[in-house]
Amino acid sequence: APPIVVMAARRGADEMRDRVVLGEFGVRNVHTTDFPGNYPGYEDAWDQRRFEEAFRVDVIREEEDTLEFDMVGIDAAIANAFRRILLAEVPTMAVEKVFVYNNTSIVQDEILAHRLGLIPIRADPRLFEYRNQGDQEGTEIDTLQFQLKIKCKRNPQATKESSDPDELYFNHKVYSKHMTWVPLGNQTDLFPDADFRPVHDDILIALLRPGQEIDVLMHCVKGIGKDHAKFSPVATASYRLLPDITLLQPVEDEAAETLQKCFSPGVIEIQNINGKKMARVANARLDTFSREVFRHEGLKNLVRLARVRNHYIFSVESTGILPPDVLVSEAIKILMGKCQRFLNELDSVPME
């Protein structure tokens, strides 16, 4: 075949392998190439050296409770494994048992227990063991105890004509800050500088009126999101593929302005070249791919929307129990443990 044809075929194969293309009515090239021989002329067999050269992790944004990072050079299955481990398999401490001694509020006991369970507790789960199945009583190594004891009273100093509950009553709002840690056994010696408490002080648990009270004791245990969502350490963990936007020919003047409006702010910028307004792709990463451009007859054939197949943009938002970078490294350890278990299984099972 002539060299031009070979080059074009090669370019087509490269696009199929590296880009997921978004068309007007569907998405092309969503398959993965995970075995050799799929494409003639490509060495697709697994090779550790090649993987190590291509793989990288770039931290893009790190704040107190959010982390955005790029993971480049992996397969969707691995990326998804991280996401699912973050959601469901990194352990935390949460309220599991609620002993209600008195609850005369209008919130039923089981609703109150459910609400308490969902309050994130600032306690490093790595300091605790899992509680043994069937253990009714907790010990200092597997249980944290909290008490919530509060009673609403009238404020005798309130003015006659006042109708503001904040002025009329004391303790009429029950907040998570009212939960206090009650050390079990020798926990004061085990954790001398510990500050076990809810992550946020201002979570509203219930509203009370004079004479109503809540008196409960809570046991927090270690668990994973698979068993109950209250143990999930993240508010959200998600990934998306890196957007890739290509202008197939120059877009000028009015068309450029229309094109700019079709994408998220900051994706397309307009430059002034020799008195003409020209559109260029400034930062494709910011786009959310609404495909708005396909609604414009004159523009839809001038742009190619694609995503880079092996470039994952992860965002991890922690509930505040552990920082997100610690959560990611814990997730990696859990995945390594799974791999190790699998390899041990392979070694221990006699082959037929």
| Candidate from 15-19, 204-208, 246-250 with smallest mean pLDDT | 15-19
Q: For the residues 137-144, what does the mean pLDDT come to? A: 91
Identify the pLDDT of residue 168.
93
In this predicted structure, the answer to whether residue 309 has a pLDDT above a threshold of 70 is yes
Using one digit for the tens of pLDDT, what is the confidence trace for 235-259? 999 999 999 999 999 888 899 999 9
Q: Are 114 and 226 part of one and the same domain?
A: yes
Percent of the chain, pLDDT > 70?
96
In this predicted structure, the answer to whether residue 291 has a pLDDT above a threshold of 80 is yes
Q: Are 165 and 46 part of one and the same domain?
A: no
Domain count, the chain: 2
Identify the pLDDT of residue 143.
94
Confidence of residue 352 (pLDDT cuts 50, 70, 90): low
Return the higher-pLDDT residue of 31 and 209. Answer: 209
Q: Are 97 and 228 part of one and the same domain?
A: yes
> Distances in Å between the alpha carbon of 106 and those of 27, 111, 169, 277?
52, 10, 17, 65
Give domain status of residue 207, yes or no: yes
Q: Are 299 and 244 in contact (CB under 8 A)?
A: no
Q: What is the pTM of this model?
A: 0.86
What's 315's domain CATH number? Answer: 3.30.1360.10
Using one digit for the tens of pLDDT, what is the confidence trace for 19-39? 888 888 888 878 766 666 667
Q: Are 71 and 96 part of one and the same domain?
A: no
Give domain status of residue 253, yes or no: no
Q: Are 171 and 202 in contact (CB under 8 A)?
A: no
CA distance 9 to 121: 57
> Where in the sequence is the domain holding 154, given as residue range(s)?
92-232
Using one digit for the tens of pLDDT, what is the confidence trace for 73-90? 998 889 999 999 999 999
Q: Are 211 and 121 part of one and the same domain?
A: yes
In this predicted structure, the answer to whether residue 2 has a pLDDT above a threshold of 70 is no
Q: Are 142 and 195 part of one and the same domain?
A: yes
Q: Are 152 and 222 part of one and the same domain?
A: yes
Q: Are 228 and 128 part of one and the same domain?
A: yes
Give domain status of residue 242, yes or no: yes
In 3-state terms the chain splits into helix, strand, coil percentages (rounded to 5) of: 30, 30, 40
Final residue in a domain of this structure, among 199, 232, 265: 232
In the predicted model, what is the mean pLDDT of the chain? 91
Residue-by-residue DSSP string for 100-161: EEEE-SSS-HHHHHHHHHTS-EE--GGGSPPPPTT--S--TTT-EEEEEEEE-EE-TTS-TT
- Three-state DSSP string of 239-270: EEEEEEEEECCCCEHHHHHHHHHHCCCCCEEE
Q: Are 115 and 225 part of one and the same domain?
A: yes
What's 158's domain CATH number? Answer: 2.170.120.12
Q: For the residues 297-321, what does the mean pLDDT come to? A: 93
Identity of residue 243: P
> Cβ atoms within 10 A of the Cβ of 103, count?
19
Q: Are 116 and 65 part of one and the same domain?
A: no
Q: Are 40 and 113 part of one and the same domain?
A: no
